[in-house]
Structure 1
Amino acid sequence: MMRIAINGMGRIGRLLFRRLIDMDGIELVAVNDIMDSDNLAYLLKYDSIYGTFTGTVVHAPGAIVANGKNVKALQQKDPTLLPWKDLRVDVVLECSGSFSSREGAEQHLKAGARKVLLSTTGSADIPLLVYGFNQHVLTNEETIISPGGCMTNCSTHILYILNAIGIKSVQCNILHSYTSRQELVDAPHKQFRRGRAAAEAIIPVEIDLQQSLERLLPALKGKIASVSTRVPVANGAMADFTLQLEQETTRQEINKLFATAAANEYKGIIEYTEDPLVSLDIKGNTHSCVIDGTLTSVVGNHVKLIAWFDNEYGFTTRMIDLLGKMA
């Protein structure tokens, strides 16, 4: 039985709570967030994206009780003061976004946790393991690991597969639902565009996808450019890849490449479809990316490829996969 704690109960932390609470081989022993625990219980029960929790979840003194299981609820700002040693925590899921450097994540180790799994890319000195691509390099000696982000998990497999043909250059535009790091009404922000009303505008934002992909795929260094365009929906994303390949290809060849991968070595990681999807259809999808074969287009060696993904559910699925690998 792996004993798990979650630090940071935002969108990813709460979805992980819902998914882990009744999972075989997992004991969710504690969560930590500065919000009041009665508010946390409410947000765990009622979710605007995934609906009402199907079991029971209530607030108790110092705890959240979900489906009859008591989970200690903490409100500690300093990770070094968390009772991970007393609770015999095997892995902390660091989902706050505030401790994604090695120095920050190590505070959980100092508090007594055995290992830390981030919910973001993390600093360059933390191993970046994208499940389905390079999780096999994980060793028992690693105490802090990163699963990348939802965009990295979508893009890595696609570019790796297409580089079998040879990629000269690629432009990635991730059309992504708005997130908590944007504002609902116009407000100050160090990235001016992120301060504009997220539900009222299409907003380009800066992302670190290029750096993550070059770490994972060094052969493509200097060949990748990326941007994320935030659109006024609350969930789901569409990744738009425009590539120049080393040789000419066809739409049929590209679609066959991904259909074959999805049915074989990438089963469960990549899905291939020719259904006329929209972003709502991706909600709750567990794949890292869903290749939309109806939107593939090719002119000579120029390829346009479209992939869908649920930026919350698909990503937490990969975090859970990595937990299994860590076990």
Structure 2
Amino acid sequence: MNCLHTSASRSTTSWQPPRHFDRRSSLNAAQYSNPRIRVAINGFGRIGRSVLRAWVESGWYQHIDIVAINEPATIEGMAHLLQYDSTHGRFAAEVRVRDQMLCIGEATIQVLHRTEIHDLPWHALDIDVVLECSGVFGARSDGEAHLAAGAKRVLFSHPASPDVDFTLIQGINHAELTAEHRIISNGSCTTNCIVPVIKVLDDAFGVDSGTITTIHSSMNDQQVIDAYHDNLRLARAASQSIIPVDTRLARGIERILPKFAGRFEAIAVRVPTTNVTAMDLSVTLTSNVDIATVNAALQAASQRILPGILGYTELPLVSSDFNHDPRSAIVDGTQTRVSHRQLVKVLAWCDNEWGFANRMLESTAGIGAVLSH
């Protein structure tokens, strides 16, 4: 039975989006009309390559110029891993190397191999936004170093330190971005996934507190076979175990939704898959609900409030079905559970690479729009 057609009991709360709740991102490649943005990528690993590929596939190349990439690896290795990707498949665009340039279709991108931020030629290249995707640099001082090198703005591809100017989550607080925000974080893939779900539930029913379990695919800080690592759990073979890891997700939620300070906790495990993450959210609500009411609110939000950010499905899908999905979160309505009318469990999927890469580009466009005004 489709839960959305099940009548709610008298004790439940029906939901319609409040008038003030319209946090959809207006920034997509088809609608963007501001001046072109000059961008550099620092770090060409999983996220850096996904950003460049999404730049082509999502149409942002029409509005954003990726001028330079700084990466220690050889340009030949960069080109090969961009063209052939074990997770996302072969890149449809032709990738070529000419001199010290990466050529993608008609676009030509300068490749640098600098190890120090202060050596990067952002001033000479007139860079508007640096996408800091190395995973190595995350302190405010690192952002300031990019600015000192000549970039106008810096966008970290991870939470970074708490003293950044702004943490930007598309669909939630993108309208609060201002010209005063120069060092910006795009949050994490898991923050981008779970915060929209929490926000919808809170606006609809009131959220008191909650816990989250992140079931995350393997990452490149794990071992193929057992090998020495400072973290003894990460010393174990990624393909043979479910591995608990540390997570700062609860603090990330507080950064975006400060009303929940001290009211969320999270744990995380890594599982032997190469991509796509599941997030198991449990919240205690302040209103009485049933499964149908919860799912109706989430589905309505996916269609009317957060299209392109939040998805909803009741199909019998598995994690691999969400590979290369550009949305931040896709709620699986078949897994929603309600206990004692106020304890609610929701399962949300996300492609932790591709969805996040698309949000990086939207955030870049948002920064560009602020710069142009």
| C-alpha contact (below 8 Å) 1:172/1:240 kept by paired residues | yes
| C-alpha contact (below 8 Å) 1:76/1:82 kept by paired residues | yes
| Of 220, 231, 250, the match for 1:210 | 250
**Larger RCO of the pair (alpha carbons < 8 Å, separation 6+):** 2
Distance in 2 separating the partners of 1:116 and 1:313? 20
Shift of 1:326: 1.1
> For 1:126-165, what aligned pairs fall within 5 Å after superposition?
126=164, 127-164=166-203, 165=205
> For 1:12-91, what aligned pairs fall within 5 Å after superposition?
12-21=47-56, 23-91=61-129
Q: CA offsets, 1:247-277, max 9 Å, x none?
A: 3320011001101111111111111111111
Q: Percent sequence identity over matched residues? A: 37
Shift of 1:183: 1.6
Which residue identity lines up with residue 26 of structure 1 in the other structure? I
Distance in 2 separating the partners of 1:247 and 1:135? 28
Tell me the TM-score normalised to structure 2 length.
0.85
The size of the alignment, in residue pairs, is: 327
Shift of 1:141: 2.2
- Which residue is 2:312 aligned to? 272
Distance in 2 separating the partners of 1:69 and 1:267? 30
Which residue identity lines up with residue 35 of structure 1 in the other structure? A
**Is 1:10 the equivalent of 2:51?**
no
Distance in 1 separating the partners of 2:265 and 2:234? 20
> For 1:88-237, what aligned pairs fall within 5 Å after superposition?
88-126=126-164, 127-164=166-203, 165-237=205-277
| C-alpha contact (below 8 Å) 1:56/1:68 kept by paired residues | no
Secondary structure of the 1:192 match is coil
| C-alpha contact (below 8 Å) 2:218/2:238 kept by paired residues | yes
Shift of 1:60: 2.3
Distance in 1 separating the partners of 2:98 and 2:87? 25
Secondary structure of the 2:305 match is coil
Q: CA offsets, 1:165-212, max 9 Å, x none?
A: 233331101111101122222122232212211111111111110111
Tell me the TM-score normalised to structure 1 length.
0.97
Q: Unaligned 5+ residue runs, structure 1?
A: none
* Range moving further from structure 2, 237-246 or 304-313: 237-246
Q: CA offsets, 1:216-259, max 9 Å, x none?
A: 12221222111111110001011101222223320011001101
Distance in 1 separating the partners of 2:99 and 2:116? 21
